């Protein structure tokens, strides 16, 4: 919230927006009086803050904010969110404000409460207790962009909102704020919302515009503006006034070019075009010392800056992707393969995806099957290893890259259908044009936005408990048992001597002294340890086990195999389940870490790396345990590894195609941060959005080229 306010265009020179109360825009729940358009609007006192309006008892904390495009609706909501958050921080009984964009609402069959819960989980994590907190009135939804819902769904969205606001008591919000453009509300929504009040953000007055130019030291520009009535009218909108003042500071606004545009829409396009070009051209580093050091931006340092054309191309791609998804925020991990519109790029993506899955599944399958082979093992060379990866990985790569039987069949049939249609000069069937190449969605942002175990977790939850188990076994099992075995060993030697079995007696005595000698030799090699007695007892136990395995019979060896395998199995299962529980189940909402660019991608790498380590450990331990155990464990971990690699391979394949086509740079997060520094984008946590929806729409109209 704070970041959104700080990056707001008219935050540099704060504009106090005038408001008027238009309660006739809403229909108060359970009121017998129908809202009348003829009811007068009531201007609010100058300087009235939005939180003061929100707190009025008659409004019951349910408010609709209306205004023209660029009037400051979102900024007003952010200001309210900041005040409510400060209040919730000071008083735990107050609800926490949560900002949600309505732009992604598109399913009339789904209740609004369910959609809101899903949206909160999508934004803040799958284990975010949105359902419970909403029902307990611990969250206060601030819903922005009713006008950004697809036009065909806006009326249905309003109906869903009213059903939620007047529905089950347990699901009703303790307060709510909804933002919408006035034109869309009147012409598309066309029905009052079940709220208790509405305010309209008024246009700026001439006095406010003049005061703004005085604050930014552009009094001479104000003299020019006064002579152009159309320009003065445009500048009554806070967004356009802020853009115009900022562009004038850069000296890039041409009044003659402005006047050559004959319509209001063309003039707005000119202002937006001038704004983003001025943003690219402006100097980012003003400190002379840093300039002499070659520093050109805070984001890129001394590295070459992206060209204007590269920035434009990348932002056009972002804008078109957001428009396609009916979204206003970009999450790097949330990029989808269907953003690719060029068929060549789509085939490149699928080829990279297939090759990545082939290498991953082929390597894992080769390692697993090698453990199933029986000695003597065949000689392994690099050529045979690579051949095995290709042969064994091809089926797995194809299956993972198609994900469904129908897609697999279509892909196999595609070349034959293509040849058939080419020979007979027929049009390719719609099913093949639509679904080939295969572009399934990637759920990296949800699936891997989890808390993977850190080294501290591994130490606290795995190694320390394992050490305690080992010490407990030494204290309560080995300590009493080993001395008893030693006494039996000595007595057995004496008994054998008494019975005249001198050779057996001599062997028993020699084996006893040899066992003690080896245990002491190892203990002496260990530097000062906190557990010398545990080490000594452990080594004696190990020596006895080795002796019995060499000289014991079948049944005795079987019993000792089971006894020695149990600790390994206990520790290994402890390691797997505790870590998988942390990696795949536990999620901890950490605002400082989870709201950073590429966070989901980094967590995906951590989880995949963890499972790979477990797979490697199981492979190395394969010949230390019965075949039934290690084969089963390797197969399970192999499936988990492939499952963890798939979203990563999808995302990296998409990034690779976009990078090699020149659409986006490889270090995408750094580029988006650079655009934020250029004041083209806003960064809120790990998400990015354009400075304003009008700027997003402006880029979306451009050709990707």
pLDDT score for 544: 58
Q: Is 23 exposed, middle or buried (0-12, 13-18, 19+ CB in 10 A)?
A: buried
Tokens coding 99: 């900002």
pLDDT score for 485: 66
> How many residues can be counted in the chain?
705
Q: Alpha-carbon Rg of the chain, whole angstroms?
A: 35
CA atoms within 13 A of residue 396's CA, in its CB half-sphere: 24
Q: Strand, helix or coil at 67?
A: strand
Are 622 and 634 in contact, with CB atoms under 8 Å apart?
yes
Q: Is the pLDDT of residue 676 over 70?
A: yes
pLDDT band at 470; cut points 50, 70, 90: low
Of residues 655 and 530, more confidently modeled: 655
Distance of CA 352 to the CA centre of its chain: 22
Q: Is 407 exposed, middle or buried (0-12, 13-18, 19+ CB in 10 A)?
A: middle
Out of 358-372, 390-404, 588-602, 682-696, give the one with best mean pLDDT.
Answer: 682-696
Question: Which neighbouring-strand residues pair with 330?
Answer: 688
Q: Strand, helix or coil at 621?
A: coil
DSSP 400-429: HHH-SHHHHHHHHHHHHHHHHHHHHT-PPP
Are 290 and 300 in contact, with CB atoms under 8 Å apart?
no
Of residues 372 and 210, more confidently modeled: 210
Q: Is the pLDDT of residue 691 over 70?
A: yes
Are 264 and 69 in contact, with CB atoms under 8 Å apart?
no
Return d(Cα 650, Cα 356) in angstroms, integer: 9
Q: Give strand ranges (E) for 272-361.
A: 330-331
Cβ within 8 Å of residue 310, ≥6 positions away: 662, 665
DSSP 339-370: G--SHHHHHHHHHHHHHHHHHHHHHHHHHHHH
pLDDT score for 65: 92
Are 7 and 679 in contact, with CB atoms under 8 Å apart?
yes
Q: pLDDT digits over 539-590, tens only?
A: 566 655 566 556 555 555 565 555 555 555 555 555 454 444 444 443 333 3
Q: Which residue has the tokens 């192999």?
A: 638
Are 76 and 65 in contact, with CB atoms under 8 Å apart?
yes
Q: Is the pLDDT of residue 649 over 80?
A: yes
Q: Strand, helix or coil at 690?
A: strand
Q: What is the mean pLDDT of residues 166-175?
A: 84
Q: pLDDT digits over 203-226, tens only?
A: 888 888 888 888 888 888 888 888
Return d(Cα 667, Cα 687) in angstroms, integer: 15
Return d(Cα 413, Cα 567) in angstroms, integer: 53
DSSP strand pairing (687-690 vs 681-684): antiparallel
Q: Is the pLDDT of residue 315 over 90?
A: yes
Q: Mean pLDDT of all residues in the chain?
A: 76
Q: Strand, helix or coil at 660?
A: helix
Of residues 221 and 4, more confidently modeled: 221
Q: Give strand ranges (E) for 110-238.
A: 139-144, 176-181, 197-201
Q: pLDDT digits over 588-645, tens only?
A: 333 334 457 777 777 777 777 777 777 777 776 655 555 556 666 777 777 777 777 8
Q: pLDDT digits over 481-517, tens only?
A: 666 666 766 777 677 777 777 776 776 677 667 666 7
Q: Is the pLDDT of residue 420 over 70?
A: no
* Omega prior to 236 cis, within 30 of 0: no
Of residues 90 and 389, more confidently modeled: 90
Q: What is the mean pLDDT of residues 408-425?
A: 70
Tokens coding 457: 């977790």
Q: Give the closest residue to 242 by CA, choosing from 271, 263, 219, 267.
A: 271
pLDDT score for 592: 38
pLDDT score for 699: 92
Distance of CA 698 to the CA centre of its chain: 27
CA atoms within 13 A of residue 304's CA, in its CB half-sphere: 5
Residues of the chain with CATH 3.40.50: 2-202
Q: Is the pLDDT of residue 535 over 70?
A: no
- Neighbouring C-beta atoms of residue 244, cutoff 10 Å: 25
- Neighbouring C-beta atoms of residue 213, cutoff 10 Å: 21
Question: Which neighbouring-strand residues pair with 26?
Answer: 193
Return d(Cα 353, Cα 400) in angstroms, integer: 9
Q: Strand, helix or coil at 299?
A: coil
Q: Own/partner pairs for 495-503, CB < 8 Å, 24+ apart?
A: none
The whole model's pTM is what?
A: 0.70
pLDDT band at 367; cut points 50, 70, 90: confident
Q: Which CATH number fits domain 2-202: 3.30.70, 3.40.50, 1.10.3470, 3.40.720?
A: 3.40.50
Tokens coding 230: 């159309």
């Amino acid at each position: 919230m704070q970041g959104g306010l700080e990056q707001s265009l008219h935050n540099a020179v704060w504009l106090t927006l005038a408001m008027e109360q238009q309660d006739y825009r809403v229909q108060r729940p359970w009121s017998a009086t129908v809202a009348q358009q003829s009811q007068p609007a009531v201007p609010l006192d100058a300087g009235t803050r939005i939180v003061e309006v929100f707190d009025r008892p008659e409004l019951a904390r349910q408010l609709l904010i209306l205004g023209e495009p660029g009037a400051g609706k979102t900024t007003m909501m952010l200001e309210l969110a900041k005040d409510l958050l400060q209040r919730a921080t000071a008083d735990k009984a107050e609800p926490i404000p949560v900002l949600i964009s309505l732009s992604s609402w598109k399913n009339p069959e789904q209740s609004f409460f369910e959609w809101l819960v899903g949206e909160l989980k999508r934004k803040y994590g799958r284990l975010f207790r949105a359902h419970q907190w909403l029902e307990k009135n611990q969250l206060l939804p601030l819903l922005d962009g009713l006008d950004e819902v697809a036009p065909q769904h806006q009326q249905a969205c309003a109906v869903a909102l009213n059903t939620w606001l007047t529905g089950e008591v347990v699901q009703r919000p303790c307060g709510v704020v909804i933002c919408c453009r006035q034109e869309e509300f009147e012409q598309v929504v066309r029905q009052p919302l079940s709220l208790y009040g509405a305010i309209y953000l008024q246009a700026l007055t001439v006095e406010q515009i003049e005061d703004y130019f005085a604050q930014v030291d552009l009094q001479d520009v104000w003299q020019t503006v006064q002579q152009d009535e159309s320009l003065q009218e445009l500048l009554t909108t806070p967004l356009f006034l802020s853009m115009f003042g900022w562009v004038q500071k850069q000296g890039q606004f041409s009044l003659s070019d402005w006047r050559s545009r004959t319509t209001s829409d063309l003039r707005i396009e000119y202002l937006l075009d001038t704004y983003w070009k001025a943003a690219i051209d402006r100097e980012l580093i003003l400190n002379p010392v840093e300039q002499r050091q070659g520093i050109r931006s805070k984001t890129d340092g001394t590295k070459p800056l992206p060209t204007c054309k590269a920035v434009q191309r990348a932002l056009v791609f972002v804008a078109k992707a957001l428009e396609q998804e009916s979204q206003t925020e970009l999450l790097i991990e949330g990029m989808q393969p269907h953003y690719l519109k060029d068929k060549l790029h789509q085939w490149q993506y699928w080829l990279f995806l297939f090759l990545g899955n082939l290498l991953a599944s082929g390597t894992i399958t080769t390692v697993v099957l090698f453990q199933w082979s029986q000695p003597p093992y065949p000689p392994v060379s690099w050529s045979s290893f690579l051949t095995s990866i290709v042969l064994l990985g091809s089926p797995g790569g194809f299956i993972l890259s198609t994900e469904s039987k129908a897609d697999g069949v279509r892909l196999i049939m595609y070349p034959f259908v293509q040849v058939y249609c080419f020979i007979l000069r027929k049009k390719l069937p719609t099913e093949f044009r639509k679904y080939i190449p295969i572009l399934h969605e990637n759920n990296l942002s949800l699936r891997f936005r989890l808390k993977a175990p850190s080294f501290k977790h591994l130490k606290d939850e795995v190694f320390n408990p394992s050490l305690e188990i080992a010490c407990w076994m030494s204290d309560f099992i080995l300590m009493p048992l080993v001395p008893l075995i030693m006494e039996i060993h000595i007595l057995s030697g004496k008994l054998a001597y008494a019975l005249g079995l001198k050779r057996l007696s001599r062997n028993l005595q020699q084996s006893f002294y040899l066992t003690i000698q080896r245990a002491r030799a190892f203990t002496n090699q260990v530097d000062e340890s906190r557990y010398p007695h545990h080490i000594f007892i452990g080594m004696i136990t190990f020596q006895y086990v080795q002796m019995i395995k060499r000289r014991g019979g079948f049944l005795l060896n079987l019993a000792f195999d089971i006894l020695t395998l149990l600790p390994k199995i206990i520790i290994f299962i402890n390691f797997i389940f505790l870590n998988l529980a942390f990696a795949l189940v536990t999620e901890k909402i950490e605002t400082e870490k989870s709201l950073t660019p590429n966070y989901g991608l980094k967590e995906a790498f951590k989880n995949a790396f963890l499972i790979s380590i477990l797979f490697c450990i199981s492979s190395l331990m394969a010949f230390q345990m019965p075949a039934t155990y290690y084969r089963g464990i390797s197969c399970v971990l192999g499936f988990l590894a492939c499952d963890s690699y798939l979203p990563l391979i999808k995302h990296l394949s998409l990034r690779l195609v976009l990078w090699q086509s020149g659409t986006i740079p490889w270090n995408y997060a750094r580029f988006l941060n650079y655009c934020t520094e250029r004041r083209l984008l806003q960064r809120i946590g790990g998400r990015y959005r354009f400075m304003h929806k009008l700027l997003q729409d402006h880029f979306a109209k451009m050709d990707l080229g």
